[in-house]
Copies of this chain bind each other. A is one copy, B any other.
Amino acid sequence: MRTLRCKASTIRELLKITQRPEVISFAGGLPAPEVFPVARFEEACRAVLEQHGAQALQYGPTEGYEPLRQMIAGNLARYGILAGPENVLITSGSQQALDLIAKLLINSGDRVLMEAPTYLGAVQAFNVYGAQFVSVPLDDDGLRTELVESALTPPPKFMYVLPNFQNPAGTTLSEPRRHQLILLAERYGIPIVEDDPYGQLRYEGDHLTPLVVLDHQNFRRDTAFTFGNVIYLSTFSKTLAPGIRLAWIVAPVEVIGKLVLLKQAADLHTATFNQMVAYEVARDGFLDQHVKLIRQVYRERRDVMLQALEENFPPEVTWTHPQGGLFLWITMPEGTDCRSLFRAALAEDVAFVPGDCFYANESPECCRHMRLNFSYSEPDQIREGIRRLSLAVKMEVRSKSPEVVASSS
């Protein structure tokens, strides 16, 4: 079976098609614009320009705006990540974090261990530097860590993992598997890049300990946060707004030092103005309060989508039940071609991203999945969109059912 692996350009084209106004799109990974704190941004812009205009519009340090780095370090401490501002590098979105890490670690031909499926943006970032990928599948408890050890020979340069509400699958890496992964990283000396854009957007259950903390607790209890196997990434894109392009890398100071030199050559520094505005927006507890609002809005949308799936989709189709984040992952019966399903869905004016876009390596599995985003559309649109999608899905399922196959042969 020839798999249709998704190129960057393909997904861009997909997204363009889905921009027709009559299309209900579950394709993007967009936050809901209704929850952008626009008024707070307006106040923050005014305060920053009136009080620190000359600084905000001037060149700034490559590492980032110091009060913002301090604030981020402070917030990380709540999750047990004992980092100081010197461990935090501000980047121009998480995509730049991935690019800089790839630039630092990947030489052409190096292997990188990826989840299957995984975040397309990471595949793109690592691809540029000539990475080869080793893919390990995931299930409802996230990366199947029992399959990881055999993928460590020959050793990959690092393992790229999204432990919380993974993009695209919506799954969360279970606590026992987190321990297992950290143990393997330590035993084989393979760094982990822990990408956590959605960690704060949990709608049920308890927060699970980040890999970077488990690494510290298990192997580096007596040292400061200066050594370790884990580089941790997060962002304001899902909690404040993606249009300001602000994210951060948390790593040992030696690693930060090297990344700073690469960032200096890549874009000098992230916009001073944006960093100061984000600091001003987030301060005095606003960020926490705002995250609570987002959780409430997205939890409802997730629930609406789950219920609509339950009501409309045929029993042959299954889906993940994400405890947070922006996405869920549909599994169609074997033999489904998600590309033809995509075209059928578009004919019904509803869109998703075909699953094959999220595999670093080809896999016979990859064509029977869809990624659905539940954060962007409003509840009524979600209900209507799932209803439309179910029409295309039912047709696809019927065409693949044994009776139909038998009668058509």
A14 within 8 A of B: no
Q: Judging by beta carbons under 8 Å apart, are A267 and B59 in contact?
A: no
A237 to B267, CA, bound (A): 13
Q: Separation in Å of the A140 CB from the closest CB of chain B?
A: 29
Q: Which residues of B contact A242 (CB under 8 A)?
A: 57-59
A71 within 8 A of B: no
A230-274 near B? 1/0 per residue, CB < 8 Å: 000000010011111100000000000000011011111111111
Which of A48-56, A179-187, A341-349 has 4 or more CB atoms under 8 Å from chain B?
A48-56
A98 to B270, CA, bound (A): 16
A267 to B270, CA, bound (A): 11
Closest chain B residue, CB of each to CB of A50: B42
A57 to B242, CA, bound (A): 6
A264 to B273, CA, bound (A): 22
Q: CB within 8 Å of B: which of A338-387?
A: none
A125 to B265, CA, bound (A): 5
A76 to B237, CA, bound (A): 33
A245's contact among B29, B53, B262, B267, by CB below 8 Å, is which?
B267
Which of A30-38, A80-88, A143-151, A296-304 has 4 or more CB atoms under 8 Å from chain B?
A30-38
A334 to B335, CA, bound (A): 77
A64 to B58, CA, bound (A): 22
Q: Judging by beta carbons under 8 Å apart, are A243 and B271 in contact?
A: yes
Closest chain B residue, CB of each to CB of A265: B124
Task: Given A57-B36, A57-B241, check contact A268 B95 (CB 8 Å).
Answer: yes
A291 to B114, CA, bound (A): 50
A194 within 8 A of B: no
Closest chain B residue, CB of each to CB of A122: B265
Closest chain B residue, CB of each to CB of A61: B12
A53 to B39, CA, bound (A): 9
Task: Given A38-B49, A93-B268, A274-B274, check contact A56 B243 (CB 8 Å).
Answer: yes
Q: Separation in Å of the A257 CB from the closest CB of chain B?
A: 9
A58's contact among B30, B125, B273, by CB below 8 Å, is which?
B30
A96 within 8 A of B: yes
Q: Judging by beta carbons under 8 Å apart, are A121 and B45 in contact?
A: no
Q: Which residues of B contact A271 (CB under 8 A)?
A: 92, 243-245, 271, 274
Q: Judging by beta carbons under 8 Å apart, are B57 and A265 in contact?
A: no
A224 within 8 A of B: no
Q: Judging by beta carbons under 8 Å apart, are B262 and A128 in contact?
A: yes
A90-108 near B? 1/0 per residue, CB < 8 Å: 0011011001000100000
A99 to B265, CA, bound (A): 7
A2-34 near B? 1/0 per residue, CB < 8 Å: 000000110010000000000000001111011
Q: Which residues of B contact A8 (CB under 8 A)?
A: 261, 264-265
A38 to B30, CA, bound (A): 31
Q: Can you give 6 contacting A-B residue pairs, CB < 8 Å?
A: A33-B53, A41-B53, A57-B240, A58-B243, A93-B268, A96-B266
